[in-house]
Amino acid sequence: MDIRGMGYAIIGSADMARWRRFGVDMLGLMPIEGENDTLYLKMDERHFRYAIVPHGSEAYLATGWELPTKAAFDEAESELKARGIEYSHGSAEEVALRKVQQFLRVSDPAGNRHELFWGAISDHEPCISPIGVSGFVTGALGMGHVVLNAPAAFDATDEFLTQVLGFALSDLVNFNMGPDVPPVRIRFYHCNNPRQHSVAIVEMPNPAGADHVLVEVKSFDDVGRGLYRAEDMKIPLQVTLGKHINDQMVSFYMYSPTGFTVEYGHGGRQIEDWSQEPVFEATRGSLWGHRFVAPPQAPEA
């Protein structure tokens, strides 16, 4: 499949006001009101990148992956059909919420929901951050990346991402968790864009339905200001400021109202020629920093 990038994320929340405060006042995204109390969060000229929908509980619901054309979409559907993989088309109402021409949904073996779409619909108004974030790194790189959980069926999920969805392995980490337990595996994958990884899977559970998403801002000052906004807003950090080995992102992680974290960073590496990039395994995640913080009793934002 010819996936070009992460197009959108759908998040269900039982506390829309809390998400609005987090998305707008913390992340600096631009709110757009949608039908049925949907809160769209805008990062660029797309109508939205995050759709927060009222939901009975907190849940990361789905990741939208962008295909460039209807032909690529049809081909993706044919591939699923040929492999006997269950999928379904979005209803007219669901398509309208996502502001695309068409999408279909499919689950990976770990139960993460993926949506394949083509033809984003937008008025192409610019994103003006209400709190003055200078901008977000999106465009041809997609909106960022998502790290999904695969506590079971890790190998089958790896196979699904690479053999079915067409992602390619960028790098891997086997986190040493101590002498008596097996390492926690993490694998990072790229699609057809220069972002070092658009999706990753980690071999541990998360009741929120995802581990984290990346919001990449346009300057280091935006990261620094974000770090101190989080402190002022008493939004708990999961991981302190640090620099990743694989994508060289300088970032910190904070808890979203839904319970997965948001990585807020800048400086992500872009790879124009993947043929020159051998897969590698790093024995740690970061060059410096990124220290884990004791989790809060209940994530608050």
Q: Which residues bind Fe ion (CB under 5 A)?
A: 214, 263
In the complex, least distance from residue 145 CB atom to Fe ion, rounded to whole angstroms:
6
Q: How far is the CB of 197 from Fe ion (least distance, A)?
A: 8
Torsions phi, psi for 154 (to 5 deg): -60, -45
User: How many whole angstroms separate alpha carbon 199 and alpha carbon 287?
Assistant: 21
Least distance between Fe ion and beta carbon 203 (Å): 16
Largest CA distance in the chain: 55
Minimum CB separation of residue 267 from Fe ion in Å reads: 13
CB-based contacts of 225: which residues, under 8 Å, 6+ apart? 133
CB atoms within 10 A of CB 282: 16
The identity of residue 35, as a single letter, is E
- Closer to Fe ion by Cβ: residue 62 or 214: 214
Residue closer to Fe ion (CB basis): 100 or 210: 210
* Number of neighbouring beta carbons within 10 Å of residue 231: 12
CA gap 139, 45 in Å, rounded: 9
- Decide if 257 contacts 18 (C-beta within 8 A): yes
Q: How many CB atoms lie within 10 A of CB 157?
A: 21
Give, in order, the Cα–Cα distances in Å from 152 to each of 30, 148, 156, 184.
36, 12, 9, 12
* Residue closer to Fe ion (CB basis): 214 or 254: 214
> Residue 28 or 268: which CB sits closer to Fe ion?
268
- Of the pair 16, 204, the CB lying nearest Fe ion is at 204
Residue 289 φ/ψ region, left for φ over 0, alpha for ψ in the -120 to 50 degree band, beta for the rest: left
Residue 260 C-beta: closest distance to Fe ion, Å:
11
**DSSP label at residue 121:** -
- The answer to whether 190 and 171 are in contact (CB under 8 A) is no
**Pick 76 or 146: Cβ nearer Fe ion:** 146
Q: Which residue is nearest to Fe ion (CB)?
A: 263
Least CB distance to Fe ion at residue 280 (A): 17
Residue 286's DSSP bridge partners are 244
- Considering the complex, what minimum distance in angstroms separates the CB of residue 189 from Fe ion? 12
Contact 250, 242 (CB under 8 A): yes
**How far apart are CB 110 and Fe ion at their closest, in Å?**
18
Name which of 11 and 214 has its Cβ closer to Fe ion.
Answer: 214
Structure tokens at 210: 């995802």
Comparison of 98 and 261: residue with beta carbon closer to Fe ion: 261
